[in-house]
């Protein structure tokens, strides 16, 4: 598919960028993401509403707050958010939905400096964004409750202290997290349906479209009005809303895009 120059859409959804992450720790597609954002800007494509659906900034294996205080770190933040800000038409809102990798807070809050940085740029920070048509939430709420979250963060903070002193432990920390802390993402059809049924119940979805990230699975379940935006680790995917039509799009190469699914509400 191609983007028509000057096109205005209702909304843009993207998640699981894990920005700032070093490729030595975990793979990512940040270069491709910038290609997408630059292409949309060059085409003067704009969106009334922007939704960052969680895990945008990687804050688990190092302190994003501390990086933001440095000149190089501030430039890296600007490199991403200046591009995102340009896509806003200015007539709607910009939502930053907090995901599990965005924070190591027991209360699920962003770090003070990151929060201040985003608010200054006009982003609305929330756990859930909702209107008459849709609900956007990161999705880790389907795997964590209040107590399992606090326990995971406690262990993660301990690992973080050791990894800060011995960088080689970053990889160990990641593997330890996935093996012992992270509840397994749904893999079978039954597990997937159970996971999204739980999310639907938690969010009081009703007949609205439920949009999430977290599992990194780029998918659409039409019968449940559910969409997962995928990620920028393997999928190179995003979702666009045009009226009552939600299109899941994958970037296949530079300036090349494939529409994977369309959900009509």
* CB crowding 3-23: b at 16 or more within 10 Å, else e: beeeeebbbbbbbbbbbbbee
Q: Where are the domains of the chain?
A: 8-138+206-264
Per residue of the chain (265 residues), give pLDDT as tens: 999 999 999 999 999 999 987 766 677 899 999 999 999 999 999 999 999 999 999 887 677 777 777 777 789 899 999 999 999 999 999 999 999 989 888 888 898 999 999 999 999 999 999 999 999 999 999 888 888 888 888 877 787 777 667 766 666 666 666 665 555 666 677 888 889 999 999 999 999 999 999 999 999 999 999 999 999 999 999 999 999 999 999 999 999 999 999 999 8
Report CA torsion sign: 121, 213, 210, 217. positive
Phi and psi angles of residue 176, each rounded to the nearest 5 degrees, phi first: -65, -45
As a CATH number, domain 8-138+206-264 is 3.60.21.10
């Amino acid at each position: 598919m191609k983007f028509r120059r000057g096109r205005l859409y209702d909304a843009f959804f993207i998640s699981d960028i894990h920005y700032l992450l070093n490729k030595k720790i975990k793979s990512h597609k940040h270069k491709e993401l910038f290609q997408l954002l630059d292409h949309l800007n060059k085409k003067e494509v704009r969106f009334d509403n922007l939704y960052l659906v969680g895990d945008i900034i990687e804050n688990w294996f190092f302190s994003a707050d501390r990086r933001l205080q440095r000149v190089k770190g501030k430039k890296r933040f600007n490199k991403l958010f200046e591009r995102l800000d340009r896509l806003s038409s200015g007539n709607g809102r910009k939502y930053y939905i907090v995901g599990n990798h965005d924070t190591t807070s027991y209360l699920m809050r962003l770090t003070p400096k990151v929060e201040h940085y985003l608010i200054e740029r006009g982003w609305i920070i929330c756990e859930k964004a909702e209107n008459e048509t849709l609900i956007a939430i990161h999705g880790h709420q389907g795997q964590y409750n209040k107590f399992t979250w606090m326990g995971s963060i406690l262990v993660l903070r301990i690992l973080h202290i050791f990894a800060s002193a011995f960088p080689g432990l970053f990889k160990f920390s990641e593997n330890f997290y996935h093996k012992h802390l992270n509840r397994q993402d749904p893999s079978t059809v039954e597990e997937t349906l159970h996971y999204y049924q739980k999310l639907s119940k938690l969010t009081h979805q009703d007949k609205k479209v439920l949009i999430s990230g977290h599992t990194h699975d780029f998918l659409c379940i039409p019968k449940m009005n559910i969409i997962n935006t995928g990620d920028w680790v393997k999928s190179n995917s995003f979702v666009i809303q045009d009226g009552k039509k939600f299109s899941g799009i994958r970037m296949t190469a530079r300036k090349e895009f494939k529409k994977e699914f369309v959900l009509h509400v």
